[in-house]
Each structure stands twice: as C-alpha cells, then as structure tokens.
Structure 1
C-alpha cells in the first residue's frame, strides 16, 4: 500500500475533549449566574416597587384626626376690669408655661399680614392643593444630593406639623404629610387653613399666633399693625429664636426686609407701600423694650386677682364639675375671659391704707387683712397682708386666716337674731353680771375688759361699751342652736364647726369660736345692717366666658337672702352707730358720715377686729401676728378702717341710710328700758312700730328737777339721740382709740 494510501486511513489530529468541555461549562455557568442576579435584581425591584406603590397608595387616605373649628390648643386667658365709665377694659393676661396664644378670627387679621405670610412661606398657596410639587421635587433633590433637610413645606403642611407635633426628618413622615395636606384642603377652605396657621405657629418669645405677637412686640392688636410690622412678624416663623426682635432685632430687620421684597416682587404691594414700609423698618418701635427698661413685673398679681382666680377655680369645680387640676388649667390655658368685679380705685386705696397706717408701721411684725364690699355682694378690694407682695397665691389674712373675732361677733351671734325674733329690743334691760357655771370648771364668767360689772344696763349701752355678760345672756335667750343655724344658714359661715357641739357653746356669743372665722365671712355678715337685712354672697367676678364666647359662670344675678327683717337691720344699724360715735369704735368714724361698726379683741389681745359700714360699703379689718401673741397696739384695725373708708367716701356724694318704714324713734327710760314718762332719765331709741316697749312706771312720782339730777347721775348708761350723733362720728377718734387699746374683749 502506498504511503499516500495509508494516510487516508491515518488518525487526524483532534482537540482534547476534556479541555473543550471545561471552557464551555464555565461560560455557561457565568451566564446563568448573571442572568440569575439580574433576574433577582429586577424581581426585587419589582417587589419593592409593588410594596412602595402599595404603601404610597395606603397613605392616600391619610388624614389628621383634628377639627380646625375646635382645636384643643393652649390659649391665653384675659381679665377685664371696669374703667371709670363702667366699661370693661383689658387688665391682665394669664397663660401657663412659656406660650401665649390669643385666637383672632380671619376677618380681624389685616390683609398685609396674610399677604406677608403667604409671600415668604408659600407663594403658590392659593393655587396648589396642599402640596407645591415644584418645591417638593426641589427639596427631594436637595435631600438626595446633599443630605440636607427635606424642606419644601407649604403652609398647609406646616400647619399639620404644628398640630400633630411630628417633626422627625424622614421620607415616611413627609409622605404622610403630603397626603394629609391634600386631604385637609379637601375638607377646609384656604381661608380656614390660613386662619388656623396664623393662630397656631410660633412667632418667638413665647408667642403662638399673630395676635400674641402683635401684643408683645407692638402693644396693639394685629388688626392695627402696619405693613412693616406685619412683615416683621411674618419673618419670624422660619427661625423663631433667631428672628425674634426681642433676641436679635438686627436679624429680624433683615428678615423683615426680605419679606417686604418678596411681597413687592410678587406684586402684593405697590412701590409706594414698599418704600414706606422699608423706611419704617429702619426705626421700628418695639414696646417690649420700654417694659424691659422700666423693670415692671406684671407677673405678680395683687391680692384681689389672686382671690378672684381662686374663686373661679372653686366655681368651675362646684358648678361645672371640673377637677381642681382641670379648673386651674382652664385659667391658664383655656382662653377664658374673666370679667372682674374689682374696683381698681378702691383696691389702690386699700393697699395705701395698709401701707401708710401709722399703727401698722410702728410694729413691722403686725399683719393685716382687709376685705371691702358693697351691698350687692360685689367685692371692691382685698389686701391679704401688710407685707409687700412678692409672689402669687401667698397666704391671705383676709380670706385664708381663721382667727377669733372677739366682740365683733356679738351683733351677728346674739343681738341681731334676738331682735329679729322679738326677744329683745333697742333698750331692753340685761344684766351685766357674771353668769354662774359659765366656764367648764363651774366658775362664773365672763369678765369685762376692765374687770368691772354694772348690773342692769340697756342693750344699747351694753353693745356700745362691749360688755360681755349681757351678750351671753341674750345668746342664752336666743338659744345656742338657733344662733348657730342663723350664722351658718343665713350668713354663710363655713368655718364654724361642730353643729351643736363646738360652736354652739356660750362663748360663741362673744367670739369664742372653735377654729376662728375669716375677715371675708365677717365683712359679708355685717352687710345685712346696711342693706335692709339682705345677705349677698360675696363675688369677685361678674361672669366668665369660655374661648368661644359662651358664658360659663355668672354672678350678675346674685341671689339675695333675707337674713333678718328690714326693720331689724335698721335697729341694728342705729345701735352699731352708737358704738362708733360714743363707744369702743370711736377711732373708726369718718366726719360727716353715718358709720356703724363693732370692735373685737380676744382675751389675750392676740387678735383685733373692726368690721363696719357706711351707706356705700362695708369693710372688715383684722390685725394680729402670724403666730398669735399679745398685740402691742390694738388700734390698727380701726385706723386702717378709717383710712380706707374715709378715702373711699371722699369720692362719693353724701347720702344717709334708709330707715325702714316700720321703724320709729321713741324716747325711753335708760333705767327701765321702757318708754319714758315724766321724771325718767332718757335717751332716744328705735323700735318696730308693732313691738314698742311698755310705758315706764318707775319714775311717775318724781319731780322734773329730780329727774334731771337722776339723768345726770345715770348719763353714763345712756346714749345720745341718733339724729345728733351721726355727724360727730370721728370727733374724738384719737383719744377714744387709745383708751380702748388695752381692752381684751372690746
């Protein structure tokens, strides 16, 4: 076979089968991995996309569960006081924490304020549906590229953030905010949203809303603010601390001018308005600067306002069922309007009477409480201490302190109810002698301040000279339980205790009550002697409105209680006038005026009271020490009363008390207490026409000359005619006051 023939059967070179299969397998494996990864990537993206789409779609119904018409916000409360014309004017604002908010309706917000806020915060506010997508896309780009804050919020979105308090920087919150904004604008008009925004957002220095800002920075309502002032306020919201004019006035000015420029560029104001506002911005007048310079501290209430706030809190609890905490929150966060009954002039007079009283100033440790009201129940003035007031809700000696009233209790615990029941009259004879078994150990009592006794005396003289045994004997005839019921049911005393055990004992008739009573209670009780026997519950406010203007508390129809007959009131007023003209209360008289009243000191002279009235007002004064001890001067209560009542009456026209038509005057015998006959020592008294004393028969056979001698001998037991005593009520005030300074039961 030829070699060539052999070649045709020879083996041809072939590739290595093992090497070829390895390369192909590797390529296929890589391809499969890539395909798998890509598939997984797109599958993941698809799943994420579905999830994101589902999540976003789930947020489309996202809303805030808030009604813009009834927001649960903190609002500033206001106190109003009548001016000299009787018109209520704003006196003081009350707000808790550091935030001050005063809601103002849309129509009361000036157009400049609305335009300024829209121009600087959301220039497409009136066109978008809650979200400005151009700003939102720009903010998203900023977030992804530089990691900055999202920003781009519209006024609607900012409002939502302020109402919800959600402030975290996240895409999730931003998405919720977007849908909430769109849904909010479906429920409310642009005007409603802008009104809410302007009342809610932070305008620096504790101001929430434009009204509070205008009040603080300019001392005016927002409706009265100029374009420049509105621009300055609008510029604060971006950074309330940095742009507050109280903190950085220069930065506020820069921001203000930026707002004005935006308003002009957006054609919201004319060139003339722009130029005028820019000129004004160079010399802004912020009233808070003046307040800071004067150092005035408006945060400390006077004694009256403290008491009024406590009364509102108490009435919210008793009449509307609030808890004490909720009632206090209403005062400082509820946006109440409280129309105070305070007489600003009388309050100033009361504070001056205490501050300038020579008896108080002679003893720096002596404390004083003063309560003043008219005969309708309106409280005119309150002073709770002789110390300078340096804080709020201090202990008040006029309303909080319970101290024994001494003899000032006699008219209301014994004499008035006894006359009212016909048990005694103006000139009834009572014994001024110790009462057997008066004290628990069986000994007789009580003593008089001078430790002497006069035997039979008239009711008039016993009250004038403040003798103790006669008051106790009248109280015995009346009945302790009757007296207790009269004090608690007719005169509003709540501090008496025991209901027949502690404060129904004989000592109550001369002021020996278990825990003591307040100056407020004593003053309110004594009003019955000057207003025909009517008791009116004291009130420190006329009425209170809630944030929406609804009256929720009202004292304007204060209901009177007929505590004693009008005739009894007249007789008691006549009796108590002699205390001031001739008795222990001479240091309290006011020249030319009818003044009635009663002194009261306790056994060891640790409390001194004077309570009394004029035809216009009734005043109670207590003096003593924080820790009871013997007073070095018991005249201060009378001198403070005289100083305050005198100053108050100087502003009034002269008038007299009205004498009840069923009361008549008559001359009585000062020895028998009966109607005088020939030869009787006499004085003039006042009686109910249908309950006149009988005729005196003791002096029928005496001559007129002997009667005159007898009258001279017994003149110490008689009072002069009421008709001649009223004009001389203070003629001997200084000497008589000093003579009673050491009288423990006067």
Structure 2
C-alpha cells in the first residue's frame, strides 16, 4: 500500500487500539504536497512527457503515410519517350546503313553488355547496387541538405531511383516527384530483379550526342556495338552518365581534363571494388572517342533502301506498320555496300555526269535499278534516286512506267513452256520464221483477223525472219503475232510464274498488247523474273533482309528454301536465255558487252520515250536498269527526247551502258562463268568488239538502239482539251486519223496504251508529235477484238 493507507480491519491496528503515529483520522487521505508552478521562460519548455507523446504521434503518422504511400502508389506505365526506340538498318556486312526514329535508342539484353562495362557503370553510379536497398535515404538527405545550403544539385539517387526517373517519371526537381520516385523505387526493388533494373537503366540513360542507351552510345562514340566495347571505352561511357555534355572531349575540348579525371575516378572505383587489378589499371590510356558526326538519316540513297526494306517487311508479313513505328528493330539487309557503291558510280558516270542543269529535259531524267543475286534471290544493290529528301518516289520499286520490249522474252518463254505453235502448225522455237512487216494484222488462234495491226519502228518492214532475229531487232509485228499464237492469258500466267506481281498495273491477260509490254512492273519485279530465267526456271522470291531482331529477340524470316519452286521447264528457261544472249552479242543490247561476261538481256523503250530499260543477267547477277521521264514539279510523265543532248533515249543506250559498267565491277575478281544451258544454246558472235570503255552514246545507238522501239504517231494536245486525264491510258491500236482527238473514254476497264515498241497503241494525250508515224490520212491501226474502241 502507499502512504495514504486506510485501515479497515482492527487487526491492522497497534496493540491496544489507537492509530499509527502520524496517520490521519480513519477514512481520510493525506493531502498531496502542492507543486511549484513554473514561471517565466520555463513555461515555454515542453516536458519530457510532451516530447515523448509528440514523437510517438509523429512516428505513427509517418509510418502510416509510408504504408499508405506504398499501398497507394502503383508502378506506372513507362513514359512513351522512354519506351520509344529507333530502327537500325545494317548493310549485309554489318556496317550501319541508317538509324530511323524519333529517338536514337536500341534496346539490348544485359548479357550483350560486357561484364567489365557493367562494373564500370556501377563504379561510376552505384557501387553497392547489388547489396543495398533500392533507396539510399542517407544519400538523399545529404543531397537535400546540400541543396538547402546552396551547394547546388547533388545526386542522392541509386541506380534504381535513376531508372525510375528515366523510365517512369519526368526530370523535374520537385518534392512530389521525389516522393513518387521513393515509393516506386522501393516497390520496384521488391518486385524486379537487380539485373532487370540494371538492364533497364543501361537502355534508358542519356549519354549525349542524342544517344539513349548503351548500344546507341557505343555507336555514337566508338562506332561499334556495346558488346565490342573495351574496358577503357566502357569506363568513358560510364563517366558520361554524370554530365554527358561536359565530359564529351570532342564537342567540348576545354573539358578534356575534367573528363579524364572522371574516367580515372571510374577506374579507381573498379580497383577499390576488386573488379580491376591495380597493375592493369596503371597500363590503361584514355580512349579518344570518334568525332561528332551527323546522324545517319534518310538523305541520299539511304532513304530509298530503308523504304524498300520496310515495304518488304510489310508485304512478307514479318512486321506491321505499328510495330515499325514503335521501333526496336535491328535489320541486317541484303544490300552489299561495295556493290551498292558500284551501282551508284555507274549511274553517275554513265548518265548523271552527262546531264546539263541548263537543259530542261535533263531535269526530267530519273534513274532506277535493282540487282539480284540469281542463286539466292538476295537484292545486293538498288538505286532509287539521287536523294530521298528531294524525291520520295523510289525509282527502283515504282510501278507506273511501261516495261515495253523487256516483256518480249516472257512472251517467248510462254511459247516454249506451252509448246505453242504458229497458225501454220509449226512448234515455236528460235528458228521459227514469222512475217515481220510493219502494220501486219495479227491473226488470232482461230485463224480470224484480230483487227489489230501494230507497227514497227519507223514503219519498217523486215519481211520473213526468225524468232532469234526478231528478238535481236525487237520487231513488234513478230511478238504481237506470237502473243496471239500463245494466248494473252498464257503470257500473263508465265509473267506471274516468273515473279511479276499479280497486282502489276496493265498486266491484263485479255489484251494482246500485253505481249508488247504495256504492264508496268518495277525494276525489282523484272530483276526477279529475269533471275528465274537465269536459275533455269526455278523461282525464288527476291528478298531484302538477311536477319532481323527486335529488342534483342530473333524475328523469324520466311523460309526461302520452302518458297523456291520450279515455275517453268528448264528447256523453256534455257531456250529463252539462248535467244537473249543474241540480243547482247549482236542485237540492240551490245552496249552491255562492256561487262566482259557472258550475258543475256533485252532492251526496251516505252511510248514516246517516257522510259528506257535494259534488263539482263549473267549466271551470277540479274540486274535491271531503267530511265524515266518525270516532271519534278507536277510529277507527270515526260518524254525524254533530247535528254543529254541526244535525239533519242533508248534501252540500248544509257541503261545498257550502266548495266555493263556495274555488272563488270560487281563481278570483278570472280571467275568467269558461262551459262549452263540445256542443249548447249550457244549464240554465234558476229562482232568481236563491244562498245568503248566510255560507252559513247552515239556509237552504242548505232549498234544498240531498239530497232522497233517506236514512238507513237502524232496526236496533238487535244487529250487535255477533250477532258481526258492527260495520263490516262488508251486502248492499243484505236483507229483514228493522225492528230485527231481520241475522244472520251468509256467507263469500262480502260486498256493501257501500247509502248513505243508497239506503235499500234496511241500516245498519252497531251504529248507532241513523235519523230515517226503513219502518213497523213492513213489509220494507225485497228482495235483489238473485244476491246471497245477508244477504251
């Protein structure tokens, strides 16, 4: 009991009764001693009970806030900018072709970063990363105190916190952002492995030179992949993380001393952590980074290559438009940089260097080319134009200019494949004789007159001649009749089998004009088709990609082996090759002999010289070169009369010269191979000399001009006045007086106009008169049966 004890039991009393000395009367408590009241300044000092209570309350509030914050703050979705990547395009040898995207970032897996480089980053930014928690409270308090004292910003963040800031939050220095960073970092540290956090940090950090992530930084500073970085180089990149602009010794030479000091700090940290020996550390020298260079954008020819590769990925189902836009792809193309340079040089030397800026028509000249490796189908070179930033249309893959006489080999291949016969019952072959007179009416397979009578160039008559001779001279009358003997539907079928896409404009098997090249395939389409002939009738799709990955994961490509198939017999393919060898040896394509290799090919010149082609192949390469006339302002097709100061531009001129120089350069050093043709298929050489090394246009034209690549007749400019689209196609051989208006076209499926090789087809309205045509008052030709006149 206490001092104020009460007595309720007499047994507790002293003997004899009474009270204990000093105790109050029974039942009454002893009064407390009054406290001394605090006065003056002492009244402002809290008691220990007040301090203890306040601390306890504060602790409860803080703990509750921490618990609530951890529960309520979720790991957000990553910032779009932090997740965005560019796409990296590489040449076949692994060198960089282009980087495309709003952000120069290429994500890579952590195992593609050398361990020594990872250690350098840890030594620079967070040496206890793998052992300490996600948040370093002591460092944060120290950094905050430093800022309050005016000492400037100081990093108080772990790698985890920096990654959260890079990937999820913005860069603003606010209390709200720091609180979010704290909670997200703690939660991330509990839910995500340290390796995954380090990988994310390396892929999102900024290293300067517009490079985000270690892979892009390695390319920007040392021109190599992160996997190939040395320890010294990795230590320098790690040093950049603290202040990229300040430590770039190339863009800020005055900071070289500071940059080297920071680099040494990183190395010393590695030594202290046991990641680098002192002996090796002493032997290391500062790795000078590469000079700052402009990014590899889409200027020059790169844009055309990137566009073609993207189109291939989409058409093959390898990637979608959304996926390409999101980025992250690393694409190794089939383009070989040496051969790409050779093709560009050939175009420049044989064509571009001869153009005059002061000549209007020269400004209309466009060149396109594609080169395919015959055995593999790999596209090894492509020329889409001089500068993608000035003209976005890819001349190598465009499908809007008639192929003209380059389609005649397909007609002949169809005849051989289907064992077609002339109307006299003779099996068609190289020695089959046809009537080659200009304006001769084509007879259909029923022996009835078709009403279609295409003309040869200059309205020249050739009399009776063999198929080989007709191919050499590109005689329209012969191949128009051969197309009728075979059947336009079979010609179309063969074109599709060889590799011409089904959606190619003008590829209409119901029209006889298909035999004279009214279809408009691209140079790449024709190169694929001619490669099938070189491969003895076995088709393999042309491809532009060797390998592709996304975010470090391999992306499967179509199995080219399973897509390879025989589409025409070897006899048909080799028989066509044998005849096409004659075109190069003694026909319209002799300029191609400058390649110095056994070659087969065919020239072509479209209507009114709007396009000129040479399509040819060796046993190794199939290459198609084309010239197009296009107004640089309106985009309309234009005639190339007078280009480079020449009266005419034909397939046997510039295109064949370009083909010859490129093919010779591209195969230099490789053993010469002859065609392995079934039955021999040899073609006699009648002239041992090819064109001069300079490929003089005039001499080439004397030997190599398409003999029957004819202009259209005079038609005047009435097409536009009549309300027709100046670029609308007309039916082949519409009957009319020269110079008369073709009149409005009916709305039923218009037929494409015939090329220059087929004078029976009218010109595009709006063009002026050509250099040749029928005499005034004579109808040019008759419409093809079944085609509405004027359609």
**TM-score interval w.r.t. the shorter chain?**
0.7 to 0.9
Counterpart contact for 1:598–1:610, Cα < 8 Å: yes
Q: 2:318 and 2:616 mapped to 1: Cα distance?
A: 36
Partner of residue 737 from structure 1, selected from 701, 713, 726: 701
Partner of residue 555 from structure 2, selected from 551, 557, 570: 551
- Note closer, same or farther for the CA distance 1:727–1:355 as it changes in structure 2 (3 Å cut): same
Aligned residue in 2 for 1:657? 675
Shift of 1:346: 2.1
Aligned residue in 2 for 1:405? 403
Shift of 1:563: 2.9
Q: C-alpha deviations, 1:46-89, integer Å up to 9, x for none?
A: 99876654332112346764799xx983445444444xxxxx43
- Note closer, same or farther for the CA distance 1:74–1:42 as it changes in structure 2 (3 Å cut): same
- Note closer, same or farther for the CA distance 1:730–1:260 as it changes in structure 2 (3 Å cut): closer
Partner of residue 105 from structure 2, selected from 100, 104, 109: 100
Shift of 1:130: 1.5
Counterpart contact for 1:131–1:153, Cα < 8 Å: yes
- Note closer, same or farther for the CA distance 1:227–1:562 as it changes in structure 2 (3 Å cut): closer
Shift of 1:190: 3.6
- Note closer, same or farther for the CA distance 1:163–1:656 as it changes in structure 2 (3 Å cut): same
Q: 1:145 and 1:50 mapped to 2: Cα distance?
A: 30
Note if 1:340 corresponds to 2:333: yes
Q: C-alpha deviations, 1:483-520, integer Å up to 9, x for none?
A: 223323543234534775xx63222211234xx33222
Aligned residue in 2 for 1:349? 342
Partner of residue 511 from structure 1, selected from 509, 517, 524: 517
Partner of residue 662 from structure 2, selected from 638, 641, 644: 644
Aligned residue in 1 for 2:370? 371
Counterpart contact for 1:580–1:729, Cα < 8 Å: no
Q: C-alpha deviations, 1:182-233, integer Å up to 9, x for none?
A: 3333334444433432332112222223343333223445566566544433
- Note closer, same or farther for the CA distance 1:461–1:617 as it changes in structure 2 (3 Å cut): same
Aligned residue in 2 for 1:483? 491
- Note closer, same or farther for the CA distance 1:302–1:532 as it changes in structure 2 (3 Å cut): farther
| Unmatched segments (≥5 aa) in structure 2 | 1-43, 45-50, 357-361, 421-427, 444-449, 631-636, 643-648, 711-756, 758-791
Q: Matched residue of 2:458: which SS?
A: coil
More helix by share: 1
Aligned residue in 1 for 2:311? 314
Aligned residue in 1 for 2:685? 725
| Unmatched segments (≥5 aa) in structure 1 | 1-33, 35-40, 83-87, 665-685, 687-721
Counterpart contact for 1:76–1:100, Cα < 8 Å: yes
Q: 2:429 and 2:297 mapped to 1: Cα distance?
A: 53
Q: Matched residue of 1:286: which SS?
A: coil
- Note closer, same or farther for the CA distance 1:106–1:134 as it changes in structure 2 (3 Å cut): farther
- Note closer, same or farther for the CA distance 1:569–1:205 as it changes in structure 2 (3 Å cut): same
Counterpart contact for 1:624–1:631, Cα < 8 Å: no
- Note closer, same or farther for the CA distance 1:526–1:562 as it changes in structure 2 (3 Å cut): same
Give the aligned length: 618
Aligned residue in 2 for 1:459? 467
| Bigger Cα displacement from structure 2, 46-55 vs 135-144 | 46-55
| Bigger Cα displacement from structure 2, 96-105 vs 474-483 | 96-105
Aligned residue in 2 for 1:267? 272
Q: 1:574 and 1:176 mapped to 2: Cα distance?
A: 76
Q: Matched residue of 2:556: which SS?
A: strand
- Note closer, same or farther for the CA distance 1:72–1:494 as it changes in structure 2 (3 Å cut): farther
Q: 2:148 and 2:512 mapped to 1: Cα distance?
A: 89
Q: Matched residue of 2:510: which SS?
A: coil
Q: 2:369 and 2:224 mapped to 1: Cα distance?
A: 36
- Note closer, same or farther for the CA distance 1:654–1:259 as it changes in structure 2 (3 Å cut): closer
Q: Matched residue of 1:235: which SS?
A: helix
Q: C-alpha deviations, 1:351-389, integer Å up to 9, x for none?
A: 12111116961564433222211223221211123xx43
Q: Matched residue of 2:526: which SS?
A: helix
Q: 1:357 and 1:519 mapped to 2: Cα distance?
A: 18
- Note closer, same or farther for the CA distance 1:554–1:301 as it changes in structure 2 (3 Å cut): farther
Q: 1:530 and 1:56 mapped to 2: Cα distance?
A: 74
Counterpart contact for 2:616–2:623, Cα < 8 Å: yes
Aligned residue in 2 for 1:135? 139
Q: 1:67 and 1:258 mapped to 2: Cα distance?
A: 34
Shift of 1:472: 0.9
Q: 2:184 and 2:380 mapped to 1: Cα distance?
A: 53
Q: 1:535 and 1:115 mapped to 2: Cα distance?
A: 52
What's the TM-score, normalizing by structure 1? 0.73
Q: Matched residue of 1:373: which SS?
A: strand
Counterpart contact for 1:76–1:93, Cα < 8 Å: no
Aligned residue in 1 for 2:447? none
Q: C-alpha deviations, 1:556-596, integer Å up to 9, x for none?
A: 43623433211011211111122222222222224764322
What's the TM-score, normalizing by structure 2? 0.69
- Equivalent residues in 2 for 1:501-540 (5 A)? 504-513=510-519, 516-540=520-544
Note if 1:288 corresponds to 2:291: yes
Q: 1:108 and 1:409 mapped to 2: Cα distance?
A: 53
Q: Matched residue of 1:402: which SS?
A: coil
